[in-house]
Amino acid sequence: MSPKGVCPLSLGRLRNVTRSSMPPLEEYVNEIKDLWESRWLTHSGIKHQMLEKKLKHYLDVKNLTLFANGHLALEAAIDVLELKGEVITTPFTYASTTQAIVRNGLTPVFCDIEPDFYTIDAAKIEEVITEKTSAILPVHVYGNVCDYKAIKKIAEKYNLKVIYDAAHAFGEKVDNIGIGNIGDAAMFSFHATKVFHTIEGCGLVYKDINLKENFDAWKMYGMYSKEDAERIGLNAKMTEFAAAMGLCNLRHVDDEIAKRKKCVETYRKLLGNIEGIKLCKEQEHVVSNYAYFPVYFDKKKFGKNRDEIANILAGNNIFARKYFYPLTSNFTVYQDKFKIQDTPVAKDASLNILTLPLYADLALEDVERICEIIIRSR
């Protein structure tokens, strides 16, 4: 028995924080059948070309390049946009964001986050700008949209590039425009656990159409032609099998998001008025994709801390996630290499936030059960 008489979910019904969406098997098989005829399995094949076209339409963007994964796309954006010196970002993010900066020989400068949406605090960005700053790399954390208008003003004032880590923000709109239309570039992760996925993959969108050939060359070892490499690059191409998965999933993504929305509404209804539990505010003028459901636990008011709740849920076969923990600025690899800025709001969030299970196939009765276990654990 779990705390206070709450029975655990039955074994075999594990509930992880995310679960990959899959199209019907027959649909995927039909999508890949012609690959046995063409044998064109990579190098921007027909599936790849089709997916790029459909994603530009779905995301309402003009320019998009597919990559093998989001991390390589971030590295490509940093390289092709010729960033130098320092890049301002947030430590409340996944490792990839910071590693992409460091692997390009640049210095990450950590700006704190704001406490309502956990995105970079635009009011604090100017405090960390120096003569070495070349760009801002904000993160749309949990699908919460950054204060892009304030960030744009700062970028224009100091002549900085803006690259958004939009890994969590696929398909979202802000002020009636596709989220990929803000900034100089934005990276949408298509990892298997995301709202939309290609198993592994990414869509990099960007403002300047002239960058298309540079990004295409970058992911092909820096080769603009078959015979010569004119820049440093990597192998970052998406395969046809991954693109085929994307074509299938794109047909279902709106239904997937609608199912996620119902789960979020249930969570909000049951947890929204519990003392000691803080939920993200709903953002006005944003069409959400309901990517994650973070919950902040205040031990003084709720009676138990984040880690205790995580353990209680795990005892009931429910595996929530400390996301993001630890801060990337605390990673061992960065110690004694960079000046680590004080980010108290980010630190507090990393110690007290738990993301609860959220995916399209999650039954509402399971959402109710998760909430019951949390509430009765006090």
| Backbone φ and ψ of 224, nearest 5° | -85, -20
Q: Are 176 and 187 in contact (CB under 8 A)?
A: no
Q: What is the model's pLDDT at position 339?
A: 86
Instruction: Report the distance separating Cα 135 and Cα 96, nearest Å.
Output: 17
Instruction: Report the distance separating Cα 152 and Cα 160, nearest Å.
Output: 9
Q: Are 320 and 313 in contact (CB under 8 A)?
A: yes
Say what the pTM is: 0.95
- Classify domain 252-376 at the CATH superfamily level: Aspartate Aminotransferase, domain 1 (3.90.1150.10)
pLDDT in tens, 280-331: 999 999 999 999 999 999 999 999 999 999 999 999 999 999 999 999 999 9
End-to-end Cα separation, the chain, in angstroms: 15
Name beta bridge partners: 277: 297
Amino acid 88 reads: I
How many CA atoms are closer than 13 Å to the CA of 200, on its beta-carbon side? 9
Contacts of 126 (CB under 8 A, 6+ apart): 154
The DSSP code for 16 is E
Q: What is the model's pLDDT at position 5?
A: 41
**Domain boundaries of the chain, sorted by first residue:** 25-248, 252-376
How many CB atoms neighbour CB 225 within 10 A?
9
Low-confidence stretches of the chain (pLDDT < 70) are: 1-14
For the domain with range 25-248, which CATH number is right: 3.30.70.120, 2.60.40.1730, 3.30.1490.20, 3.40.640.10? Answer: 3.40.640.10
Q: Are 104 and 79 in contact (CB under 8 A)?
A: yes
Q: What is the model's pLDDT at position 14?
A: 67
